[in-house]
Chain A
Amino acid sequence: MQSAAGIDEEPFAAGLTACIQRCVAGAQKITNLVRLSGGASQETWSFRAVGPGVDRALILRRQPDTIGIAPKLPLATEAALMRAAGAAGVPSPHVLHVLAAADGIGEGFLMDHIAGETIARKLLRNEEFAAARPKLPLQVGAILARIHALQPGNLPPLPITSARKELAELRDAYHRDGQPRPVFELAFRWLAERAPSDPATPSVVHGDFRTGNLIVGGEGIRAVLDWELACRGDPVRDLGWFCTISWRFGAIDKPAGGFGSREELLAGYQAAGGRPVSLQELYYWEVFGSLRWGVFCLSMRARSAGKDRSLERAMIGRRASEAEIDLLHLIAPLGD
């Protein structure tokens, strides 16, 4: 049997059934197994664990052990981060089980399915989220303050990064792509000249905190997802990434994710214990965010030319130019 995404799911469906029989009391079988998304290295599946008196909607995040692409972080680390974040008051899905070798279905974890919307276009335009929208900048600020206060000592090891270190990594990826891009060169120079000093005690940073990785309901944020780029570093990076122009999804005059102002975001951050952040600091990480997104687009194109021949990834390569126009808008605005 082939899923819509073209993955052979038979061998792992049997393993998953055995696994839920062990960790969901009363569950006997799985139904409605559907692959939601993911590239070649990671998969997300939705299904129901069903038995007498039991019908529980669950999500499996999984890395099949047949594929030799290393994920950014082990999924067990992602699960540990979600558990720690949940305990610290960050809306997080409950993690039921982290897959062990004995489960025989690769690396990954099981979590409760949380109903809600992740698609930015709907969150920014649909009437059902009209009441939630103005609350989101404050909520995001508060959630990020809680994430940045997580104690790294209680977590699996996370890579430590800084503006300078990540700029060097982005520059490597840009050079591997090979296409000369004067706008990226200018942005690399601008960011290198203004790079903040490395924080003395790097905070836990989510790494990809933006609309699309949040589950939102009519009342506000229900869950923070996708910790695969988590690291320790400058906490303002998460705030700047949320405000990066691409992540405003067209609502460019509302810097906080298309939902509201930077001032609201920073007020929410500080009210929940985050350190004071200046607009200038935030601006640095917004410029950084546009360059980071642009380089990610190049990496997607590179992958689409290799094993993972996806038209969607190839087309994302053509979005590097959106980062270029945003960078020019930020560092060399028209009519200045």
Chain B
Amino acid sequence: MQDPPRPETLVAAVAAFLRAEIAPQIKDVANFQLRVAINALELVARQLVLAPGSDAAELRSLEKLLGRTGTLDELNTALCGAIGDGSAKLESRQLQRHLWSTTMAKLAVDQPSYATYKRALAQDG
């Protein structure tokens, strides 16, 4: 077992340091690129915290939807096939709920400030 601090804590600390201490000293193109790099570190920190739980939930939801077991990749590929051949339909409430919850989990990592995501969070209560 590895000792603390945990990876997500360290990555978040590096991002916070770069944002507060370094970014103000860097200008122009390099500043833009540094900010992209900081955003990437913050994304990684969010994924380290959130993905274990959201991946497990997505797997359970896919198993229920498709009535079989498999890896996330296998089951997502199977769901794509079912949508493509029309056996999984847009009108299905269960499918809609599944797609909304998995997509919300992606946005929570990728871009939690995205307007459509924030609107959906507020609507969801």
B116 touches A329 (CB 8 A): yes
B80 touches A181 (CB 8 A): yes
**Closest beta carbon of chain A to B120's beta carbon, Å:** 6
B84 interface residue per 8 A CB criterion = yes
B124 touches A182 (CB 8 A): no
B115 touches A328 (CB 8 A): no
Of B39, B115, B124, which contacts A250 at CB under 8 A?
B115
**Closest beta carbon of chain B to A297's beta carbon, Å:** 10
A332 touches B96 (CB 8 A): yes
A318 to B41, CA, bound (A): 13
B13 interface residue per 8 A CB criterion = no
Those of B3-45 within 8 Å (CB) of chain A: 28-30, 33, 36-37, 39-40, 43
A183 touches B40 (CB 8 A): no
A127 interface residue per 8 A CB criterion = no
A328 to B96, CA, bound (A): 8
A183 touches B123 (CB 8 A): no
A271 interface residue per 8 A CB criterion = no
Known: A252-B119, A325-B120. A319 touches B36 (CB 8 A): no
Q: Could you say which residues of chain B place their CB within 8 Å of the CB of A331?
A: 90
Known: A189-B83, A311-B36, A312-B33. A321 touches B77 (CB 8 A): no
Q: Could you say which residues of chain A place their CB within 8 Å of the CB of B103?
A: 183, 321, 324-325, 328
**Closest beta carbon of chain A to B82's beta carbon, Å:** 9
**Interface extent on B, as a size class?**
35 or more
A102 interface residue per 8 A CB criterion = no
A334 touches B111 (CB 8 A): no
Minimal Cβ-Cβ distance residue in A for B79: A182
A5 to B29, CA, bound (A): 8
B39 touches A325 (CB 8 A): no
B76 interface residue per 8 A CB criterion = yes
B28 touches A186 (CB 8 A): no
A182 to B106, CA, bound (A): 13
Q: Could you say which residues of chain A place their CB within 8 Å of the CB of B90?
A: 186, 189-190, 331-332
Q: Could you say which residues of chain B place their CB within 8 Å of the CB of A319?
A: 110-111
**Closest beta carbon of chain A to B78's beta carbon, Å:** 9
Those of B52-111 within 8 Å (CB) of chain A: 73, 76-77, 79-80, 83-84, 86, 90, 96, 99-100, 102-104, 106-107, 110-111
A185 interface residue per 8 A CB criterion = yes
A315 interface residue per 8 A CB criterion = yes
Known: A190-B90, A319-B111. A326 touches B116 (CB 8 A): yes
B116 touches A245 (CB 8 A): yes
Q: Could you say which residues of chain A place their CB within 8 Å of the CB of B76?
A: 180-182
A252 touches B79 (CB 8 A): no
A322 interface residue per 8 A CB criterion = yes
A312 to B110, CA, bound (A): 14
Minimal Cβ-Cβ distance residue in B for A336: B96
B43 touches A325 (CB 8 A): no
A4 interface residue per 8 A CB criterion = yes
A335 interface residue per 8 A CB criterion = yes
**Closest beta carbon of chain A to B58's beta carbon, Å:** 11
A322 touches B33 (CB 8 A): no
**Closest beta carbon of chain B to A83's beta carbon, Å:** 31
**Closest beta carbon of chain A to B37's beta carbon, Å:** 6
A315 to B73, CA, bound (A): 22
Minimal Cβ-Cβ distance residue in A for B62: A182
Name which of A182, A251, A335 has the most chain B CB atoms within 10 A of its CB.
A182
B73 touches A321 (CB 8 A): no
A180 touches B80 (CB 8 A): yes
Q: Could you say which residues of chain B place their CB within 8 Å of the CB of A185?
A: 79-80, 83-84
B77 touches A334 (CB 8 A): no
Q: Could you say which residues of chain A place their CB within 8 Å of the CB of B83?
A: 182, 185-186, 189
A-B contact pairs, 26 of them (CB 8 A): A4-B28, A4-B29, A180-B77, A180-B80, A182-B79, A183-B99, A183-B103, A185-B80, A186-B99, A189-B86, A251-B115, A315-B36, A315-B40, A319-B110, A319-B111, A321-B110, A322-B110, A325-B114, A325-B120, A328-B99, A329-B119, A332-B99, A332-B100, A334-B100, A334-B120, A334-B124
Residues of A at under 8 Å CB distance from B?
4-5, 180-183, 185-186, 188-190, 245, 248, 250-252, 311-312, 314-315, 318-319, 321-322, 324-326, 328-329, 331-332, 334-335
